[in-house]
Each structure stands twice: as structure tokens, then as C-alpha cells.
Amino acid sequence: MRILLLTNVLPYPLDSGAKVRAYYMLRYLAARHEVTLVSFGRDSDRADALEHLKSLCKGVSVVAMKRTHLADARAFMRSVFSGQPFTILRDARHEMDAALTDLVSRQPYDAIHADQLSMAQYALLARAVMRPQAQPLLLLDAHNAYYLIPRRMAEVARNPAVKMMLLREARLLEKYEADIYQRFQHVLTVTDEDLRAIRQLRQFAGDAPHFTMLPICIDGDLPRKARRSDARGLLFIGGLHWPPNADAVRWFASEIWPVVHAEVPAARVYIVGARAPDDIRALGDFPGIRQPEQSGDAPIVVTGYVDNPEPFISASAALIVALRSGGGMRVKIIEALQWGLPIVTTTVGGEGINLTARQDAMVADDARQFARAVIEVLNNPALSGRLSDNGRQLVQSRYDWHKVYSALDGIYH
């Protein structure tokens, strides 16, 4: 089949969950079909990443995307007056409209695969522009039930004005999602929880899409990461521009870390991720730390974006996922399981992953219980080793893209 794949971010290198999902979907489809990739691009995208994607695809087109505070403010005002979600309007670009119009007017496609909710608008545009006789399959990989993200953020927000804006966005997304999903023949989710949340939006009509849950997967053949025998680090890794991640770091630093540090003074926290807000930067040494040894005795290190996080993985005893909001799957948990790195997570953090508490990961939702779980991993080598071994086995059996994404064969045929 000739497949048009639309992504919000260039799906390589694999430094975010969204990229991991889109990349392995692309790998699977491109090995069996003719795939053309059209993606938004950022200034930080590398030429070698683009060349790698071109080696997999029939063609690759990139449309520049630059988010600014001014552009976000304009999108918010449009949301106020139109009643459309800010989440969707901030990624509306005339340049993408023009690029797709030109592409599909010259080349028909058998299927249009939109990756993430913000790309659904472009899939519908492409189908409308395509020749009247063309009837492409429309598939949306939703990733999340998006309306749950601002709703959960509102539950932990302390500022009344912020809470009100988040609840408004949740209501707008709920309405938008209920409408948009019915315009696609097939919708993928990454967790059963998101699938249930989408189905609860409203009773779908007779033309309801077919839903399939396919978890985010990685390469199960990758080897275990080497870790130092004296590793005492607690690793948080993820983009800090995403509010649920920023909230997780703040909660860990203010309510969990003091308990851990008082009992295990040798422990260290490594916060690895791009675009940290000023208050998170102020928690520790920032910027410029690229090796754990450079941090000296600093209990908390905030690194910013790191091309190669392996030195911090090597120095860490556990991955910390102190999420209280968000949706979908945390790809960093899947990756850390594959690395053999023990995990301490909240229930929300581990959502969508078949984790057995104290076998595959430590799970705790209360700040003190979370701290006790971290301390136990730091002080109990037998527990740490069991979590490490079981985690790798879980990935290889349930989250290897070679095996799981064969379900796409029943959709694209």
C-alpha cells in the first residue's frame, strides 16, 4: 500500500516517547509498504536524523514548526473566541496545509496515518483534497485520551485560575475528540485505560471507528545497560516543558527527596531533560553537567538536554517516575526496564504497562510511601536485582515492536 504518514515531530532520534512510538510504527510499515513521511520539524532536528528517515521511506517532507510565546498567546485567544482546544490550535499551520495540498494533488495514497491528535486535522485535509475517486483508509494513532491530561493536571493544580483554564481545556478536548475520532475508520490507543476513556466520551454512531490498543514498543533485542556497582543515583529523564513532568520533579524534590536524603545521604538525583523551568533549574547545578562525576557533592543535578544519557544511567540505582498527571504510556519506563534499571513509579506513571508491584517495579502514590520504596531499592540489592531481571523479561515478552506491531497487518492489507 501507499501510506502517507503524518507526524508532529520528526521521529528520530529516539529521545521522546512520541518519537519512539512513531519511529517503530514507521519501521514496521516501511518494511512492508511504500511510506511517505510528512512531519513538522524543529530547529534542533539534525541532518543525520533526516537522512536516516529518508533511508526508510519513499519520500520525506518537513514543514518548519516554531513555537513561541507570542504564537501560543494568539492560539489561546483563538481558542477563547472559537471554542476550539488550545492544544489543537497551537499546531495549526498554513504551511502544512499547503505542503499536503500540493503533495496529495499529485500523488494519491491508499492510506493516511495520522500520528497524534494534533495531526488529525491534516489527515482530514489531505483526504478532502485528494482526487474524488480516491477513498484512502484513514487511521489515527491517538497515543492518549488527551482530555484526561488537563483534567488530571487540574486535580493537582493549586492556583485557582490555572485550575479553571485546565478544566476548560479538558472540556474542549473532550468535545473535539468525541467528534474527530468518528471521522476515522481506525483509531489506535497505547493503553486500555485510554481506550476506555475514549469510548466513554459518548455513544458512537453506526459509523464509529474500529479501535485497537497497541502499546508503545521498543527493540527487545537491545542489551542491558552497564551500571556501576556503587550506583546511588536516582534518575529522572524526560522533557521538562511538559507540565506533568515538571510537576513530578517539583513533587519529588519538595516532598519525597528530603526523606530519602536524610536516610541515604550518599544518594544523588539526576534530572535529565530539555527546557527545564527556572524553578527546576534552581534545584541544582545547571547547565553544563554532562558527566555525573562533574557534579561533585551536589545532591541534585539538573543537566538540561543530554545527547547521551548513558553516564547517568550507569550512575543510577533507579528510575524515578513521580507522575501525578498525564496520560498514555511512559516510554522511559519501557526503556528503563530494557536497560535493567529498577523503577519506582506512581500508579499514573505506570499506567498502561503490565507492572506487578515489587516484581517488575515499585509502585507508590503517597509521598512517604514513594520515599520508602526508593530507600528500599537503594538499600536492598536482592530487590534491585529482581526488579532488573524481571523488567527485561517483561519488555521482551510484551513490548518488542517486532512481535506486537504485527497486529498492523490486519489493518493494512
For residue 379, the domain's CATH number is 3.40.50.2000
Name the region of 64 (left: φ>0; alpha: ψ -120 to 50; beta: rest). beta
pLDDT band at 413 (very low <50, low <70, confident <90, very high): confident
The reply to whether 228 falls in a domain is: no
Long-range CB pairs of 377-384, under 8 A, 24+ apart, other chains included: 377/317, 377/318, 377/342, 377/344, 378/232, 378/260, 378/264, 378/267, 378/317, 378/318, 379/264, 383/342, 383/358, 384/317, 384/318, 384/342
Q: Give residue 123's Cα distance to chain centre.
A: 21
Q: Percent of the chain beyond pLDDT 90?
A: 77
| Strands of the 2-7 sheet, one edge to the other | 59-64, 34-41, 2-7, 111-115, 137-141, 186-189, 210-213
Sheet holding 233-237, edge to edge: 300-304, 268-272, 233-237, 316-321, 343-345, 362-363
Three cell numbers at 242? Answer: 511538559
Tell me: do 391 and 253 sit in the same domain: yes
Confidence of residue 23 (pLDDT cuts 50, 70, 90): very high
pLDDT score of 15 more than 60 = yes
Say if residue 383 is in the same domain as residue 406.
Answer: no
| 200-251 pLDDT per residue, tens | 887 665 556 799 999 999 998 888 998 998 899 999 999 898 889 999 999 9
CB 121 within 8 A of CB 100: no
Cα 281 from chain centroid (whole Å):
22
Strand, coil or helix: 62: strand
pLDDT recorded at residue 328: 76
Residue 69 lies inside a defined structural domain of this protein: yes
* One domain for residues 171 and 245: no
Whether residues 344 and 385 fall in one domain: yes
The answer as to whether 97 is a domain residue is yes
Residues 182 and 54 in one domain: yes
- What's the pLDDT band for 156 if we cut at 50, 70, 90? confident
63 & 152 share domain: yes
| Three-state secondary-structure class, residue 164 | helix
First to last CA, the chain: 8
- On whether residue 223 sits in a domain, the answer given is no
Q: Do 276 and 315 share a domain, yes or no?
A: yes
Are 237 and 340 in the same domain?
yes
Work out the average pLDDT over 245-272.
96
Residue 170 and residue 104 in one domain? yes
Which residue is it, cell 545521604? 265
Does the reported pTM lie above 0.75? yes
* Number of domains observed in the structure of the chain: 2
Instruction: Report the chain's C-alpha Rg in angstroms.
Output: 21
What is the DSSP secondary-structure string of 93-115? -HHHHHHHHHHHHHS--SEEEEE
With bands split at pLDDT 50, 70 and 90, how would you rate the model's confidence at 290?
A: low
Q: Is residue 59 part of a domain?
A: yes
- What range does the domain containing 405 cover? 2-218+400-410
Residues 257 and 207 in one domain: no
Q: Is residue 247 a part of any domain in this protein?
A: yes
Eight-class DSSP state of 202: S
339: pLDDT strictly greater than 60: yes
In a domain, 50, yes or no: yes
Q: Which residues are within 8 A (CB) of 410 and not within 5 positions of it... i.e. 6 or more apart?
A: none
Q: Are residues 29 and 133 in the same domain?
A: yes
Query: 246 and 212 share a domain?
Result: no
Q: Which whole number is the average pLDDT over 326-341?
A: 90
Distance CA(367)–CA(371), nearest Å, equals 6
CA distances (Å), origin 142, targets 3, 88, 115, 207, 378: 17, 13, 7, 18, 37
Residue 267 lies in a domain: yes
Cα-Cα-Cα-Cα dihedral sign, residues 145, 18, 272, 394:
positive
pLDDT at res. 208: 63
